Chains A and B, each alone.
Chain A
Amino acid sequence: MDPGSDNRQGPTMIERRFLSGNQAIARGAWEAGVRFATGYPGTPSTEILETIAGMDGVDAHWASNEKVAFEEAMGYAIAGGRTLVTMKHVGLNVASDAFMVFPYCGTNGGFVVVSADDPGMHSSQNEQDNRYLARMARVPILEPADPQECHDLIVAAFDISETFGTPVMLRTTTRTAHCKGTVTLGERRSPPMVPSTLRAERFSVPIYRHRLRPGLEDRIQRLAAFGMTASFNRIDKPRHPVGVIASGISRAYAREILSDADFFDLAMTHPLPLATLIAFCAAHDTVYVFEEGDPFIEEQIRACGVANLVGKDRLGVMGEYSPERLAAVVTGGAAFETSFAMDAPAPPRPPMFCVGCGHRTVFDVLGQLRVTVAGDIGCYTMGALPPYEAEHTTFCMGASIGTAVGLVRAGVKRTVAVIGDSTFIHSGIPSLIDAVYTRTPVTVLILDNATTGMTGQQSHPGTGTALDGNTAPAVDIEALVQATGVRHAVVVDTWDRAAVRRAILAALAHDAPAVVIIRGPCQLLPEMRSRDIQPLTVVEDLCTGCNACYRIACPAITPGPNGLPAIDPALCVDCTVCQQFCHFDAIVTREAMMDGEQRFAPPDTRSST
């Protein structure tokens, strides 16, 4: 069953469902007749592809990275089929080489790229506003405010794309992607493949760039004219002194806070309908411009000489907007306040490796060895946090090995790169080749947990499974590493701390690039959850309270009623790592404890004192 589906109203009635923005985008794309959908996981975009994968008539899969996804999508679209490609904001950086050149030739079949931005950086490394990338590429942008608009605007995006022969960006943010609301659905349309001949004069951009270049400017002018009358840019007739120009989720907040004001609902934020916007501003005393991120809309209006605007001067460019933040600007003070003062602040609950996570041993060993660690993007980024604090740099996906090469060449000895399996395939391979090519003695740890863990366990080309759940050919990571020319490569079990330590030491001693593949599936994978688990327990008579087991920061181990560490049987997944830290053999399976009550009886010396 589709998430949030509601078929109780019967087939003849209008069908409505309670959907997230991402689910609504998938559904809207399906209704628009999308045939091919691809992308690379990244919060807050991931659920779009996961939802569309179950729909009829769509060829959907995860690509190795965003650039590959974008290029596959280009190929499908110029062959004439409607195509969707999804990624988080920083994913578009990876795909931008293709993104910047595709508009020169334009598309045949409708082509929509979803860029999911993350104001507030809930789950991202930066806060970039991708509308600038679209403007740079001369690509139109649609920005939905709620799930219904996610649905409606993606349908419109496909139509605009085919009408103007342009790729279109649908820009969401964390809130629009994950907010749920009621969506009225439509039927699936099946537009035919757009007939196409692949002529070099159109699709071989470098050779014919001078001929194609004017078309780019001409098209964006025509799109601007279209935006002046497009029905999804709704404009109130002036009847109030205050006007609001708002995009995305800010529109939803503003609608509630300034419910009497006149609204210019901007759904198409590039190219802007500037003449209409200027007229709107002229008809009002004060105009609020509410847009999350950079002053993309505001600066363009100001550049036309409009001055009666309130926007980034009061709201700033950083972080997510909220009703509180907008209200404070409108009232000139704090509009929403708490009635209840807290005695003491609530202590934080920082994220940590899951119970049984295989990354624990690695960061414990790295911390012990006091090496310099160039990290990467994935769950293992949490190795930078206490109690490990054993990761020193993290920039962007695939950066670990390149950074480590630079560090080593600058004389930083004992440098280790740490990269996950999904990230290695995404963008780690070229930099490993470079380490070999430049004879740089880096130690590379590939943490192979058989999934893309951080974004919620998506398959990738190394997992042997596909987006639809079926099996797929799996990359042989060992063979791939060998083929790059790495001469020292070993595989170890991630839950064997001593083996992990030995392998890392041996790799560090090697005078050329060395790879350790540290393997053990993510505990959240279905096959790991459904296995027979023997929870561990602390034998109180043997435990001395030395607290060594706390060193691994396992959420299942917390102080028990007697002050000694206790293991929550409902959480423990018997990864045995805590056992390896106990100096007194006080951690055993519950079964072993029942069987061996005698064996664990306290020695005489202790009972007699």
Chain B
Amino acid sequence: MTDVMGSAPAGANVIVAGVGGQGVLMISEMIALAAVDAGFDAKQTEVHGVSQRGGSVHSHVRFAARVHSPLVPIGQADLVIGLEKLEAYRFAPYIRPAGTVILNDHEVSPVSAGTAGVEAYPHDAAATLDRMGVPTRLVRATELAERDLGNVKVANLIVLGFAAPWLPIPVDTWAGLLATRIPPRFLDLNRRAFDLGASLAQAAGPGPAHRPGPAPALPIVTA
């Protein structure tokens, strides 16, 4: 039996989560495209529809030598990238024991929280995740996008740059990808956002380039 459902040693299972309008789908597609450019087979999936009406949005990306299923099973994500605290928290059960959560330090209250349910919002998601034993890296992308780059819209690219060292994708692949996929008039801004994220990751200390060793085998038997 093989460990295909987990990431193959050189691949990864990723979940990107956030709220409609934050650019979840854009960065998950960027990850999939980067993986393809780096020579992997990749699949990405998300559900369109009501989620766009201010609801939660999430996307799965899987890449390896050969990928059939686009869905990351529970407990099998190498990386959960949360553009928003509550949404990152929601997907914590998907993390595998050696996985990591990259968390944008940003809150978007559910609309109902305006009146009721304010208490339920996990304001200290990072601390909670740490206590649960999930390695969590915090990045203040929304704040920095506004303060340093003058545009909150590129917070997602800061987060992507920050997350990149956790993905087994060569550094130059990203630069090439940005140049071919981002329309020229937005390229400079997006590149600066990505680079800002990448430099923050470096400053935050040596994150593992990717998990050491092959992924643990899954308890699957045929018969």
Are B69 and A252 in contact (CB-based, < 8 A)?
yes
Stretch in contact with the other chain, from B28-36, B162-170, B190-198, B205-213: B28-36
Q: Is the CB of A331 within 8 A of B221?
A: yes
> Is the pair B221, A256 in contact by a Cβ cutoff of 8 Å?
no
Task: Select A260's contact among B41, B52, B55, B222, beta carbons within 8 Å.
Answer: B222
Which residues of A (151-196) have their CB < 8 Å from a CB of B?
Answer: 174-175, 178-182
- Nearest CB of B to A259, in Å: 5
When distances are taken between beta carbons in the complex, the residues of chain A under 8 Å from B43 are 146, 179-181
Q: Is residue A430 contacting chain B, with contact meaning CB distance below 8 A?
A: no
CB-nearest residue of chain B relative to A557? Answer: B114
B94 CB to nearest A CB, Å: 7
**Complex Cα spacing A258 to B2, Å:** 9
A323 pairs with B54, CB closer than 8 A: no
Binds B, one of A200-208, A334-342, A400-408, A413-421: A334-342
Q: Give A331 to B51 CA distance when docked, in angstroms.
A: 33
Q: Is the CB of B111 within 8 A of A553?
A: yes
The reply to whether the CB of A442 lies closer than 8 angstroms to some CB of chain B is no
Q: Which of B56, B111, B132, B133 has the most CB atoms of chain A within a 10 A radius of its CB?
A: B111
Cβ of B56 and Cβ of A331 under 8 Å apart? no
A316 within 8 A of B: no
B223 touches A242 (CB 8 A): yes
What sequence of 0s and 1s flags, for each residue 546-586 of chain A, a beta carbon within 8 Å of any chain B beta carbon? 01001001110111000001000010000000000000000
Choose from B52, B55, B70, B115 the contact partner of A252 (Cβ within 8 Å). Answer: B70
Query: Is the CB–CB distance between B4 and A256 below 8 Å?
Result: yes
Nearest CB in chain B: distance from A175 CB, A: 6
Q: Name the CB-closest residue of A to B70.
A: A179
Contacts of A251 in B (CB 8 A): 68
A346 and B122 within 8 A (CB)? yes
Q: Does B1 contact A (CB under 8 A)?
A: yes
Question: Which residue of B43, B47, B120, B222 has the most chain A CB atoms within 10 A of its CB atom?
Answer: B222
Given A18-B32, A43-B48, the answer on whether A257 and B112 have CB atoms closer than 8 Å is: no
Whether B219 pairs with A342 at a CB distance below 8 angstroms is: no
Residues of B within 8 A of A340 (CB): 92-93, 95, 132-134
Q: Are B222 and A18 in contact (CB under 8 A)?
A: no
Could you tell me the distance between the alpha carbons of A182 and B41 in the complex, rounded to whole angstroms? 8
CB-based contact B223/A286 at 8 Å: yes
> What A residues does B115 contact at CB under 8 A?
387, 547, 550
Segment touching B, from A348-356, A470-478, A510-518, A590-598: A348-356
Residues of chain B contacted by A555 (CB below 8 angstroms): 54, 111
Classify chain B: how many residues form its interface, as a range. 35 or more
The answer to whether A18 and B51 touch across the interface, beta carbons within 8 angstroms, is no
Contact residues of A between 122 and 145, Cβ < 8 Å to B: 122-123, 145
For residues 369 through 391 of chain A, which have their beta carbon under 8 Å from a beta carbon of chain B? 379, 382, 386-387
Whether A349 lies near B56 (C-beta < 8 A) is yes
Q: Which residues of A contact B33 (CB under 8 A)?
A: 4, 18
Instruction: Identify which of B19, B49, B52, B95 contacts A339 (C-beta below 8 A).
Output: B95
**B128 lies within 8 A of chain A by Cβ:** yes
Segment 15-37 of B: residues with Cβ below 8 Å from A: 19, 29, 32-33, 36
Inter-chain contacts of B112 with A (CB < 8 A): 350, 386-387, 553
Q: Interface readout for B128-139 with A: 1 if CB under 8 Å, 0 if not? A: 100111100000
Residues of A within 8 A of B4 (CB): 255-256, 259
A338 pairs with B110, CB closer than 8 A? no
Q: Kindly state whether residue A8 has any CB partner on chain B within 8 Å.
A: yes
Is residue B74 contacting chain A, with contact meaning CB distance below 8 A?
A: yes
Complex contacts, A527 vs chain B, CB 8 Å: none
Q: Which residue of the partner chain B has the closest CB to A244? A: B222
From A255, A382, A547, A553, contact of B68 by CB (8 A): A255
Complex Cα distance A258/B218, Å?
12
A336–B75 Cα distance when bound, in Å, is: 6
The reply to whether the CB of B71 lies closer than 8 angstroms to some CB of chain A is: yes
Shortest Cβ distance from residue B132 to the other chain A in the assembled complex, whole angstroms: 5
Kindly list chain B residues whose C-beta atoms are within 8 Å of the C-beta of A259: 1-2, 4, 222
Cβ-defined contact, B120 with A344, below 8 A:
yes
Are B222's CB and A341's CB within 8 A?
no
B16 shortest CB reach to chain A, Å: 13
B104 to A: closest C-beta gap in Å: 15
Bound complex: CA A331 to CA B68 (Å) = 20
Q: Which of A1-19 contact B (CB under 8 A)?
A: 4, 8, 18
Contact residues in B for A253 (Cβ distance below 8 Å): 68-69, 71
Q: How far is the CB of B58 from chain A (nearest CB, A)?
A: 11
Interface centre among B4, B46, B110, by most A CB within 10 Å? B110
- Nearest Cβ on chain A to B5's Cβ, whole angstroms: 5
Residues of A237-283 whose CB lies within 8 A of B: 240-242, 249, 251-253, 255-261
Which of chain B's residues have a CB closer than 8 A to the CB of A317?
none
Given contacts A18-B32, A547-B115, A553-B112, are A181 and B50 in contact (CB under 8 A)?
no
Measured CB to CB, the nearest residue on chain A to B109 is A558
In this complex, what residue of A is CB-closest to B118?
A: A559
How many Å from the CB of B2 to the closest CB on chain A?
5
User: B110 to A347, Cβ gap below 8 A?
Assistant: yes
Cβ–Cβ < 8 Å partners of A353 in chain B: 53
Contact mask B78-113 → A, CB, 8 Å, 1/0? 000000001101101111110000000000011111
From residue B167, how far is it (CB to closest CB) to chain A in Å? 17
Residues of B within 8 A of A337 (CB): 74-75
Q: Which residue, of B67, B69, B222, has the highest number of chain A Cβ atoms within 10 A?
A: B69
Chain A proximity of B133: nearest CB distance (Å): 6
Residues of B within 8 A of A557 (CB): 114
A360 to chain B, nearest CB (A): 12
Is B156 in contact with chain A by the CB < 8 A criterion? no
B49 in contact with A322 (CB, 8 Å): no
Q: Does B10 sit within 8 A of A, measured CB to CB?
A: no
Q: Is there contact, CB below 8 Å, between B56 and A327?
A: no
At the interface, yes or no: A324 with Cβ under 8 Å from chain B?
yes
B50 touches A338 (CB 8 A): no
With A255-B68, A286-B223, A324-B73 in contact, do A175 and B48 touch (Cβ < 8 Å)? no
Q: Known contacts A122-B47, A122-B49, A347-B113; can you find 10 more A-B pairs with CB under 8 A?
A: A123-B47, A175-B70, A180-B29, A182-B42, A259-B222, A286-B223, A336-B74, A354-B54, A382-B53, A570-B152
Q: Provide a sorted-by-A list of 20 A–B residue pairs whose CB atoms are within 8 angstroms.
A: A18-B42, A145-B68, A175-B70, A179-B70, A180-B70, A242-B222, A256-B4, A256-B5, A260-B222, A261-B222, A335-B218, A338-B93, A341-B132, A343-B131, A347-B121, A349-B86, A354-B53, A354-B54, A559-B113, A559-B118
Task: Give the 10 A-B CB pairs with smallest separation, nearest first.
Answer: A123-B49, A338-B93, A346-B90, A351-B53, A336-B73, A347-B120, A351-B55, A255-B68, A252-B68, A349-B110
